[in-house]
Homo-oligomer: A and B are copies of this chain.
Amino acid sequence: MRQSQLFTKTRREAPADEQSKNAQLLIRAGYIHKEMAGVYAFLPLGLRVFNNIVAVIRDEMNKAAGQEITMTGLQDPAVWQATGRWDDEVVDVWFKTALKNGSPLGLGFTHEEPITRMMKDHINSYKDLPQMVYQFQTKFRNEVRAKSGVMRTREFVMKDLYSFAKSQEEHDQLYNTMATAYENVFARVGLGDRTFKTFASGGVFSKYSHEYQTVTDAGEDIIYVNREKGIAINEEVYTDEVLADLGVTKNDLTQEKASEVGNIFSLGTRFSDALGLSFKDEAGDEHPVIMGSYGIGPARLMGVVTESLSDENGLVWPEEIAPFSVHLVALNLEDSEVRDWADGLYDNLTTAGVEVLYDDREVRAGEKFADSDLIGIPYRVVVSKKVKDEGLLEVVTRATGEVRQLTEEELFADFGVSRNA
């Protein structure tokens, strides 16, 4: 894409009321727009990153045999009353509204209830199990505080997957499949080395639930990390009993601030009992379905990546989720020969399948470089009259600052594409 046509502008200063580093940088770079506290729009660059994260998650969910659907924001009170979660005293993040006739409706903050009811249409027999069903769905949560940028918002897309099993053993298999899928997601978005499977409080149906926590100063949680084993313990269950369960001592653990980037949870029969989701076994006897739920918020991941990887000059995107692979920064465009050559290089890279943001704007070099650092595309390729004359492109790796001099041929080879595709 030509940057001269991109409608968003970068800005030198973040809004005065924006406290979080992630929102400050994402707003300055033109990735997001703040509608209100805790409510953000995604602009073209931000939507590209968001969609890339969604694509990674979708790929891992599909590989794990998840089937994608989309449920609804508007929620029927009846199904929540059946599980006791309609009451604002029980759930304190409801946004509620009403039909014209006065009937109350909720805005979904999660979807266990509606999916359990829906699955009654599709699960009757042991032959219909196991199943894993997921969606990317907007959740609404009436948070009292919303000061962590895109990491905690009042409206956000969540990937929520629900598993349905006929036995505890089958459930445990699905649960472990999801744990692996989650670890793949965190590795692919660039957070693998600082994200830990964290033991947290369970419920009636399991001793623990598991959170995935990424170590970051912006985190809202305290965890105790054992890097050797790659696990952590949430402060809420940091007891001698849990330490003994996991075979670690306090000396093996370091206290860290961390942000929860995903959780996986055994629900047992809590929802299937309340809503009557059951199956018949081979003998014709009826049993409640055993469920699990598994959540990741793509925008929170984007926020945590920003908090974790950005530097004093701006954003730094891992390759798999970057909005573009190459930032082609062209100088001396007043020289028509340079412009023609730069245009040609852009066309050739794009035709070869490389995603390029082409800074073809007529602004000062300093402004281009500052914007390029701020926007944080993995590779910056600088072209200018000097580069054209000398035949060597300057390629800068955003994350490390490494500078290489490459010929055009070498540049194309570096991206694994042919120059004359």
A36 CB-CB contact with B under 8 Å: yes
> Known contacts A9-B121, A97-B96, A142-B100: does B70 contact A36 (CB below 8 Å)?
no
A74 CB-CB contact with B under 8 Å: yes
A44 CB-CB contact with B under 8 Å: yes
For residue A115, give the distance in angstroms from its CB to the closest CB of chain B. Answer: 9
Asked if B36 contacts A74 (CB within 8 A), the reply is yes
A47 CB-CB contact with B under 8 Å: yes
Give chain A interface residues in 28-60, CB to chain B under 8 Å.
30, 33, 35-36, 39-44, 47, 50
Tell which of A61-69, A381-389, A403-411 binds the partner: A61-69
A133 CB-CB contact with B under 8 Å: yes
Question: Which residues of chain B come closer than 8 Å to A96, judged between CB atoms?
Answer: 97
A281 CB-CB contact with B under 8 Å: no
Contact with B along A120-160 (1 / 0, CB 8 A): 01110000100101000010101010000000001100000
Pick the contact of A44 from B11, B44, B69 — CB < 8 Å?
B69
How many copies altogether?
Answer: 2
Bound CA span A142–B103, Å: 12
Asked if A68 contacts B41 (CB within 8 A), the reply is no
Bound CA span A68–B96, Å: 30
A76 CB-CB contact with B under 8 Å: yes
* Residue ID in chain B nearest A88 by CB atoms: B100
For residue A67, give the distance in angstroms from its CB to the closest CB of chain B. Answer: 5
Asked if B70 contacts A47 (CB within 8 A), the reply is yes
For residue A23, give the distance in angstroms from its CB to the closest CB of chain B. Answer: 14
Bound CA span A86–B340, Å: 51
For residue A228, give the distance in angstroms from its CB to the closest CB of chain B. Answer: 39
A95 CB-CB contact with B under 8 Å: yes
> Known contacts A121-B9, A131-B7: does B71 contact A35 (CB below 8 Å)?
yes
Give chain A interface residues in 71-97, CB to chain B under 8 Å.
71-76, 95-97
A301 CB-CB contact with B under 8 Å: no
For residue A195, give the distance in angstroms from its CB to the closest CB of chain B. Answer: 26
Bound CA span A140–B243, Å: 49
Bound CA span A99–B96, Å: 10
Question: Which residues of chain B come closer than 8 Å to A75, judged between CB atoms?
Answer: 35
Bound CA span A76–B33, Å: 13
Bound CA span A43–B122, Å: 11
Bound CA span A144–B103, Å: 12
Question: Which residues of chain B come closer than 8 Å to A123, judged between CB atoms?
Answer: 7
A370 CB-CB contact with B under 8 Å: no
Pick the contact of A35 from B42, B65, B74 — CB < 8 Å?
B74
Besides A7-B67, A41-B72, 13 more A-B contacts (Cβ < 8 Å) are A5-B65, A7-B122, A7-B123, A35-B75, A36-B76, A39-B74, A39-B76, A44-B68, A47-B69, A73-B140, A74-B140, A99-B142, A100-B144
For the complex of A and B, the 9 pairs showing the least CB-CB separation, nearest first, are: A41-B71, A42-B70, A95-B97, A7-B131, A97-B97, A44-B67, A39-B74, A36-B76, A74-B155
- 28 cross-chain CB contacts under 8 A: A5-B65, A6-B67, A7-B122, A7-B133, A8-B122, A9-B121, A11-B121, A33-B118, A35-B72, A35-B74, A35-B75, A36-B76, A40-B72, A41-B72, A41-B114, A41-B118, A42-B70, A44-B68, A44-B69, A47-B69, A47-B70, A72-B155, A73-B155, A74-B155, A95-B97, A95-B98, A95-B105, A107-B107
